[in-house]
Chains A and B, each alone.
Chain A
Amino acid sequence: MARDLLYTPKSIESIDYERDLGDPGTFPYTRGIHATGYRGKLWTMRQFAGFGTPEETNERYRRLLAAGGTGLSVAFDLPTLMGRDPDHELSRGEVGKCGVNVTSLADMSALFDEIDLGAVTTSMTINAPAPMLLAMYLVVAEERGTDWRSLSGTIQNDILKEFIAQKEFIYPPRPSMRLVTDVFAFCAEHVPRWNTISVSGYHIREAGATAAQELAFTLRNGIEYVDHAIEAGLDVDTFAPRISFFFNSHSDFFEEIANFRAARRIWARVMRDRFNATNPRSWQLRFHAQTAGVSLTAQQPYNNVVRTAVQALAAALGGTQSLHTNALDEALALPTEAAATLALRTQQIIAHETGIVDVVDPLGGSYFLEKLTKDLEDEAMAYIDRIDRMGGMISAIERGYPQKEIAESAYQFQQAVESKAQVIVGVNEFVSSDREGIGTLYIDETAGDRQLARLEATRRNRDRARVSAALEHLQAAAKVDSNLMLPLIEAVRAHATVGEMCDGLREVWGEYVEDPII
């Protein structure tokens, strides 16, 4: 986005304080959703982690909590994310590699061993099989006597951005949307403190989108979910307060802060004026932020600590509710424990040493920041209008519209890097001839072997008739308009695997195959 040399009162003449900003805690929440900012409550330091077996990851979680982390965030491996058991052909070489493998109830139980589910908040990055993994978490809680009503956490459950950017989809868009709304309806009744979706711009940005595109596509996805839930017969104020968001915090410092502020303003207006929500909590955009993985470089990896610190500062100044900071070695591998701890320490230094938490929205009123916030809002609203005219986000996805926009931005960025119009320190400028070696985490094949052995044991020891009956019931419910959460919970209690549950629905709905666009 083009920038002027200087911003003055003239730059923000069209902005009205009461109408467009408001004090923190008041509509349209541009300056934040809490009147007391971080003095009332600091953001949650939530470090995304997972690798190998549930036991290995459980150990990492307990150390993160002991080091002062305040929430858990589960990274699943690709077989789990794609609803495939470890013994499926496509799972070979992938089990436990870029996250933890969770195949059945026994795995979920081991993952949270000696962690009080009533006391922690858990975020699970899971999308296509989100209802299956949520069902597992609920059954683990049930077995331990923890009331579902006391559980707090988030499932990502954002399938639209999978079609647009990350591409971890299973079913076609329409039945996928039904799974999302089934979770909304079930949780509103039975797990009221659970955040049923984290509408995610993070992956859209990582795939190459600009800040304005991330803002626009994410909020338009949010609109699509609200539309579908209302269409399914839900009252907007019963589910909207549990919708949360997830944004990227990239390197263009002021643009990131402005993007978070614009997101709050747009969402408040959309919820109040487009959907007639009346509960102020439906208007408030709460979000998690993660620093930009795509900005990390394999060259001179220690530079990544500096990048991450600046990006984390932007997220805090933008009023995030929760934050993950990337580790310095993540362009090379999953982080080592030392690198993950340093990433957490980065947040702790910002929170406890810089003083930025003492004042709510300390940059509010800056001529530049307010103008940038307005410009990003305008650009995003133009995209949202265009997608509305296409008939909504699913139609836009079916036409490949957001996918093409993102691929184009990614290519333009790469060309800017090639021509050095965009400098990346250590990559295209200030390059060192000798490569700094750092020790990285190496995940071998043993996790895969152990998960295969456990899967075999699960299949051997369970009541086969109960599993088959549960899976048949699941398929029957999928064929009619019946909420799928209870059949899934029963299948989990019977020790059905993620692959079996997902296959059951694959047989009913089929699989989505993308038309590749370059």
Chain B
Amino acid sequence: MSQKIRVVIAKPGLDGHDRGAKVIARALRDAGMEVIYTGLRQTPEQIVSAALQEDADVIGLSILSGAHMHICPRIVELLRERQMTDVLVVVGGIIPDADVPKLNEIGIRGIFQPGTPMQEIVDFITQQARVRVSSERLS
């Protein structure tokens, strides 16, 4: 019944600043989720493959370099190609306010800017990922 939520935490792009990715990976693990951290410099293809292999419920992206408007749409596109649109995608990092509605529009609901409490991210994932699991059971 209480199946653990499976989360792939990924650092796409060339950036190596991994403090946020590691802290959130540990916080999600402490909150009872199964966390897989991909490590650095993953292409969107590698990240989506990891999510498929790991049967992930959630992909969490950490992007600080400004490349989010290139990376996020590509991930969403790949998920669609592989019929994985039920995977929840969340992103954290340096995301300017102006890009938030654009990311929402392509289906990224959880966007966490600097200073977001860990608990808020844990709560968001817990609620959103469970909606997916229960709706699957109904259908």
Q: Report A's interface with B, CB cutoff 8 A.
A: 78-79, 81-82, 84, 89-94, 97-98, 162, 166-169, 206-208, 294, 296-299, 331-334, 407, 410-411, 414, 417-418, 424, 426-428, 435, 437, 440, 442-443, 514-518
Interface string of B28-67 (1 = CB under 8 A from A): 0100000101111101000000000000000000001111
In this assembly, does B123 line the interface, its C-beta being within 8 Å of a C-beta of chain A?
A: no
Q: Contact between A162 and B16 (Cβ–Cβ < 8 Å)?
A: yes
Say how far B5's CB is from chain A's closest CB, in angstroms.
Answer: 17
Contact check, A424 vs B96: say whether CB atoms are below 8 A apart. Answer: no
- Cβ of B126 under 8 Å from chain A: no
Shortest B60–chain A CB gap in Å is 13
Find chain A residues with CB under 8 A from B43 CB: 89-90
Chain B nearest CB, measured from A96 CB (Å): 9
Instruction: Decide if B82 is an interface residue (CB 8 Å cutoff).
Output: no
Query: What is the bound-complex CA distance between A10 and B12, given in angstroms?
Result: 54
B23 x A411 contact (CB < 8 A): yes
Shortest Cβ distance from residue A357 to the other chain B in the assembled complex, whole angstroms: 34
Knowing A298-B115, A411-B23, A418-B119 are in contact, say whether A93-B69 is a contact too (CB < 8 A). Answer: yes
**What are 10 sample pairs from A and B whose C-beta atoms fall under 8 A apart?**
A84-B14, A93-B13, A93-B69, A93-B71, A331-B115, A332-B96, A411-B23, A426-B115, A427-B115, A440-B98
A251, chain B: closest CB distance, angstroms: 15
Known A78-B65, A93-B67: A518·B94 in contact at CB below 8 Å? no
Taking a contact as CB atoms under 8 Å apart, the answer to whether A410 and B16 are in contact is no
Q: Are A333 and B94 in contact (CB under 8 A)?
A: yes
Give Cα A451–Cα B26 distance, bound, in whole angstroms. 39
Which residues of the other chain, A, contact B69 by a CB distance below 8 angstroms?
Answer: 93
- Chain B residues bordering chain A, tally (CB within 8 A): 37
- Taking the complex as formed, is B77 at the interface, i.e. its CB lies under 8 A from any CB of chain A? no
Contact of B118 with A by CB under 8 A: yes
Find out whether the CB atom of B16 lies under 8 angstroms from the CB atom of A166.
Answer: yes
Chain B residues in 8 Å Cβ range of A90: 13-14, 41, 43
Task: List the 7 shortest-distance A-B pairs measured between CB atoms, nearest first.
Answer: A93-B70, A167-B16, A516-B39, A97-B66, A78-B14, A93-B67, A298-B114
- Does B97 sit within 8 A of A, measured CB to CB? yes
**Which of A168, A206, A208, A518 is packed against the most chain B CB atoms within 10 Å?**
A518
- Chain B nearest CB from A270 CB (Å) reads 29
B15 adjacent to chain A (CB < 8 Å):
yes
Closest B residue to A441 by CB, please name it.
B96
Contact across chains for A94 and B117 when beta carbons are under 8 A apart: no
Chain A residues with CB under 8 Å of B23's CB are 208, 407, 410-411, 414
Pick the most buried of B14, B15, B16: most chain A CB atoms within 10 A of its CB: B14
CB B91 to nearest CB in A, in angstroms, measures 14
Given A298-B115, A418-B119, the answer on whether A98 and B66 have CB atoms closer than 8 Å is yes
